[in-house]
Structure 1
Amino acid sequence: MSIDWKKEVEQRKDALLDDLVELLKVRSDREDDKATKDAPFGPGPKNALIHMLGYGERDGFTVKNVDNYAGHIEYGEGDETLGLFCHMDVVPAGDGWDTDPYVPVIKDNKIFARGSSDDKGPSIAAYYGLKIIKELGLPLSKKVRIVVGTDEESGWGDMEYYFKHEEKPDFGFSPDAEFPIINGEKGNVTITMHFDGSNAGSFVLESFDSGLRENMVPGTATAVFTVDDSAVIADLTVAFEEFLKAENLKGELVAEDSLVKISLVGKGAHGASPQIGVNAGTFLATFLDRYDFAGGAKNFLHTAAKYVHLDFYGEKLGVAHEDARMGQLTMNAGILKFGPDFDDNKIALNFRYPTGVTGDSLQKAISDLLGDTGTATKGDRDMPAHYVPMDDPLVATLLQVYEDHTGEKGYEQVIGGGTFGRLLERGVAYGAMFPGYTDTMHQANEFMSLDDLFNSAVIFADAIYRLAK
C-alpha cells in the first residue's frame, strides 16, 4: 500500500498547529513548592499532561492517566508494543526573551515559546503521525503507545512511577532530539560540591545565586556582600567595569554604604553543550575570587573560579575522559548557591560521560580534589551510557525512513543529552530537529521551525507504520 504521508500531513497542518499553540499556552515547569499528591511535580506539568491526553480522548484513542505522573495514548492490537516517549514538562523560561515564553508567537516561519522544540512541538508531530494512521484505518500488528511524561527535565520520577504501574513497551523511540537518529547517549550524573557557610575575611559574602536547573547553563548570577571601606568599594567599581569590558559581558554593580550587589548576565544553553553558553555564575566567581573573602565563602568562590570556570570537559577537575564512539566527557556547572537563604552552599556539576567513567569514580575524584575544603555527593539519578547498534532492526528501519523522505544518507549519532529513548534496552531518540538546525533548547527565545514541525510529522507517521504494521 502506497501512502502519501506528506499529503496527509498537509491536510491536517492547520489542526496540528492549533493543537500545538494551545498546548504551549499551558505553563508546565516543575514547581516543587506547589507539588501535591494530585500534582506531584506542581500544577503546570499536571495540567499539560491532562491537556495532551485530552487530544487522545477527543480523537478516539485509548487513554490512561497514571495518577498525574504520566499517561499514555494507545492504538492497535498485538503481542508487542511500540513505545513513543514524549514529555510535557519544560525547563524554567529564564531571562532574555523577546516575547512572553508562554504566549506562542509565529514569525519568520517559526513558532516561539518555551517547549516549542523541547518537547511539545515534537510530541504533537508524533501524535499526529499516529492520528493519521488511525484515521486512515491502516492495519497494525502491534500496539502503539505514546507515553507522556511530566518530569523529564528533572528527576524522571514520572517514569519511575509509571513503570511501577504499567509494562514497558518492547522497543521504541523518543521524538526529543534530532534526525537522522540518536542511538547512543552518554551517561548522566550530577556531582554536588558542598561548602560550609562561614565568612572570615574583610569581604563577607551574604549570598551568591546563579542557576535554575542542573541541566542548564546559568544565564545570570547575583552576588551580595559587605565590605567596610568606601575606598575599596570605589576601586571595586572600576575593576568591575574593566572586567566587563575585558570579558565582553554585561552587568551592574550597586553599592549602598557597605553593602554591594553585583549582577552579571551570561548566556543560557543546554547543559549537554555547556561550551556554547556563557556561565554567568563561574564568571562572577572569577571576579570575586581576587578579593579578601575567607572561610567557606572563599572555598566556594575559589573552587568555582579555579576548577570549574571554562572547564567544559573536566580537565581542571582531573576527570577528563574520551571514548572513541561516544567522544568527550562534558561538565556543566548548573547551580551555584551560597548563603543562609538557600538550603545548601553548593556547586552542582552535571556530567555527561562516555563509557569508561562511572558516577562513583567522578564523585571520588572530586571529593579527593576538595580535600578538607568541602565535600562531594552523587545525585540519586545516575544513568550509565546507552547504545543501540546500527544493525538493530529498529535503528535500520528508522534510518531508512529518514533517507526515503529526505534523500540524505542516515548515520548514527551519540549525544550528551539524556532522552526517554534510553528507558528501553531497544530505545533511541529520533527527531524532530533536522541537520543544520539552530539549537534553542533550554535557551531564551526557544523556537521550532514550522517546516521541521510538519516534515517530522511526515517521517513519524511513516516510521510508526513501518515499525507496527
Structure 2
Amino acid sequence: MATIDFTAEVEKRKDALMEDLFTILKVNSERDDSKADKENPFGPGPRKALDTFLAMAERDGYKTSNFDNYAGHFEFGEGDEVLGIIGHLDVVPAADQEGWNTNPYEPVIKDGNLYARGASDDKGPTIACYYGLKIIKELGLPLSKKIRFIVGTDEESGWGDMDYYFEHCDLPLPDFGFSPDAEFPIINGEKGNVSEIVKFNGKNAGATVLHSFKSGLRLNMVPEVATAVISGEVADLQAKLDAFLAENASKNLTCEIEEAAGKYTLTMHGKGAHGAMPEKGVNAATYLALFLQQLSFADGAKAYIDFAADLLLEDHEGEKLGIAYTDELMGNTSMNAGVWVFDENGEASIALNFRFPQGNTPERMQEILAGKAGVTEVEIAPHVMTPHYVPENDPLVSTLLSVYEKHTGLKGYETIIGGGTFGRLLERGVAYGAMFEGEEDTMHQSNEYKPVDAIFKSAAIYAEAIYELAK
C-alpha cells in the first residue's frame, strides 16, 4: 500500500472539520444541576452536546448508541481486540468567569486562534480525533482491530457519565486506548485525585463580623474571584486595602469595596487556572483571606481566615499543612483550594483538591488536616481516583510516541501529570494530545483558545495513530 499523507487528507477536510467543531462549540454544555432530570442527567447543555455529536456520527454512517444521555459511542472496524478512544463534550463554567473578550459560546477565529469554551478542553481535540478516524473510514484502510469511540458529558465534574456508561454498556472494556484530552507527546501516568472538604464552625465572636465568604466555581479550577461580606470594626478599610494591593502588586490583584446598610462587600480578583496546576493561577480566596487577617475576627471566622492565610496562601504542595509528599516516579502532591463557603448561619468549609502520587493516600491527608486548629471535620469527597501508570515500553505508548515524533520532528518522552483524564479508565489507557509543546495552556481559563493550525496538526496525528494501533 502506498504511504498515506495524513496531513494532506486533513487539508482536504479542514473546512468540514471546522464547521462541525463550530457547531458543537456553540452548545453551552456546562453542567447545570438545577435543570437536571431523568432526560438530562447533568442538565440540558451536556445532553444537547451529546445529541449533536451522535447526529454527526450518524450522518457519517456510524451506528450510534446513547446511554440514557449520560454518554454515547459508536464502533468501526472488525477484530477481536478493541481500541478505545474516549473524549468528553462537557465544559467548565464560563458564564460566571471574568475576563472573556468574546462570547465563550460564539466561537471566533482571531490571529489564527479559535476562541471558545471547549476549544482546547475538550471539544477541539475530540473533533480533531473524530476526523482522524473519519479519514481512515473514508479511505477504506484495512484494520485488524475494532475501534470504539466513546464520548462523555460529565468529565469536568464527577465522572458520573462514565460510571453510568460502564455499568450499562454490555460490551467488554476496550483492551487499550487513549483520551484526546491533555497534551503531546503523551500522558502515560496520572496522579491520584481526591477532594477533601475541611469544615469549620460558622461562628463569630470578634469586633469584626464575617457574614459570608464565597469563592470558586469547581474543584478543578483555581478561584478567580472571591467575595466576603463583613461588618463591625472596619476602620480605614479602603486605606488598608490600598496598602495591601500595593504590597502585592506583582500578583495583579484588584479588589472593590461596596457598603450597604452597615455591611461591606469585598470582591477580590485573581487569576484562574486549571486546578491540576494551581501554581499557574492567583487564588483570589487566599489573598482575600490574607487581607482580612488584619481585622478583628474571632471564633470560627478567625479559624477559617487564619487557616487560609497561614496554611494555603501560595503553597501549592501542602508543605505548610504537612501534607507534602513526593514520589521518585510520579513527583509531588499538588493542592488547589477550589471551593470556599462561610455562612454565619451555617456551613463553613474549604474544599481542597489534591493530585497525589503513589505512596501518598487520602487517609493520610485527612488525618493531617483534621489535626489543624479550628478544623471541626474533614470529609473525603466521593470519586477518589488512585494513581495510574502505563509503562513506557508498552506498545501503546511506544507507537503513539513514534507517530508524534514523525509529525513533529521532536523527541517523544513519557509524562506524568496531576490532571485526571478518561485515559485512566482503561488499564492500558493513556492521554494523547492535543496541546503541543510551547502552546499556551488556557484550559479552564477566560479566553480559552486553540491555535487553528494545531487543531489540523493534531487531527493528522490522530489519524495516523489510530491507523498504526488498529491496522
Above 0.5 in TM-score? yes
Task: Give the match's secondary structure for 2:372.
Answer: helix
Q: Counterparts in 2 of 1:370-409, with a 5 A limit?
A: 370=373, 373-409=375-411
Deviations 1:85-115 (A, max 9, x none): 1000100011111111111010111100000
Q: Could you say which residue in structure 2 is the equivalent of 1:242?
A: 243
Q: Check if 1:294 corresponds to 2:298.
A: yes
Distance 1:338 1:168 in 2: 43
Q: Check if 1:150 corresponds to 2:150.
A: no
The one-letter amino acid paired with 1:463 is A
Q: CA deviation at 1:258?
A: 2.0
Q: CA deviation at 1:331?
A: 0.3
C-alpha spacing 1:308/1:87, structure 2 compared with 1 (3 Å)? same
Task: Give the match's secondary structure for 1:352.
Answer: strand
Q: Counterparts in 2 of 1:293-332, with a 5 A limit?
A: 293-332=297-336
Q: Check if 1:178 corresponds to 2:192.
A: no
Q: Check if 1:57 corresponds to 2:53.
A: no
Q: Could you say which residue in structure 1 is the equivalent of 2:83?
A: 82
Q: CA deviation at 1:290?
A: 1.7
Q: CA deviation at 1:203?
A: 1.2
Which of residues 195, 201, 215 is equivalent to 2:200? 195
Deviations 1:156-189 (A, max 9, x none): 0100000012232110000001111000111110
Deviations 1:315-350 (A, max 9, x none): 011011111121111100001111168x73210000
Distance 1:49 1:345 in 2: 36
Worse-superposed segment, 420-429 or 398-407:
398-407
Q: Could you say which residue in structure 1 is the equivalent of 2:40?
A: 39
Q: TM (normalized to structure 1)?
A: 0.97
Distance 1:200 1:253 in 2: 23
Report sequence identity in percent: 59
Deviations 1:121-143 (A, max 9, x none): 00000000111111111111111
Q: Counterparts in 2 of 1:50-449, with a 5 A limit?
A: 50-93=51-94, 94-166=97-169, 167-227=172-232, 232-233=234-235, 235-248=236-249, 249-339=253-343, 344-370=347-373, 373-449=375-451
* Structure 2: gaps (5+ residues): none
C-alpha spacing 1:320/1:5, structure 2 compared with 1 (3 Å)? same
Distance 1:256 1:80 in 2: 66
Q: Could you say which residue in structure 2 is the equivalent of 1:455?
A: 457
The one-letter amino acid paired with 1:431 is G
Distance 1:354 1:154 in 2: 21
The one-letter amino acid paired with 2:105 is Y
Q: CA deviation at 1:358?
A: 0.9
Distance 2:8 2:237 in 1: 64
Deviations 1:424-446 (A, max 9, x none): 11000001111111000000000
Worse-superposed segment, 256-265 or 434-443:
256-265
> Retained in 1: the 8 A contact 2:209–2:230?
yes
Distance 2:338 2:202 in 1: 20
Distance 1:363 1:373 in 2: 11
> Retained in 1: the 8 A contact 2:177–2:426?
yes
> Retained in 1: the 8 A contact 2:203–2:344?
no
Alignment root-mean-square deviation, CA? 1.2
Distance 2:452 2:104 in 1: 17
> Retained in 1: the 8 A contact 2:204–2:344?
no
Q: TM (normalized to structure 2)?
A: 0.96
Distance 1:158 1:373 in 2: 33
Task: Give the match's secondary structure for 1:346.
Answer: strand
Distance 1:274 1:89 in 2: 21
Distance 1:32 1:247 in 2: 37
Task: Give the match's secondary structure for 1:362.
Answer: helix
Task: Give the match's secondary structure for 2:371.
Answer: helix
* Structure 1: gaps (5+ residues): none
Distance 2:280 2:271 in 1: 8
Q: CA deviation at 1:281?
A: 0.5
The one-letter amino acid paired with 1:262 is L
Task: Give the match's secondary structure for 1:65.
Answer: strand
Task: Give the match's secondary structure for 1:208.
Answer: strand
The one-letter amino acid paired with 1:215 is N
Distance 1:247 1:65 in 2: 51
Distance 1:12 1:405 in 2: 18
The one-letter amino acid paired with 1:20 is L
Deviations 1:170-220 (A, max 9, x none): 100000011110001111100110112211112111111110000100000
Distance 1:23 1:344 in 2: 38
The one-letter amino acid paired with 1:400 is S
Distance 1:192 1:20 in 2: 37
Distance 2:218 2:262 in 1: 32
Distance 2:216 2:375 in 1: 22
Distance 2:344 2:47 in 1: 32
Distance 1:196 1:240 in 2: 27
Task: Give the match's secondary structure for 1:151.
Answer: coil
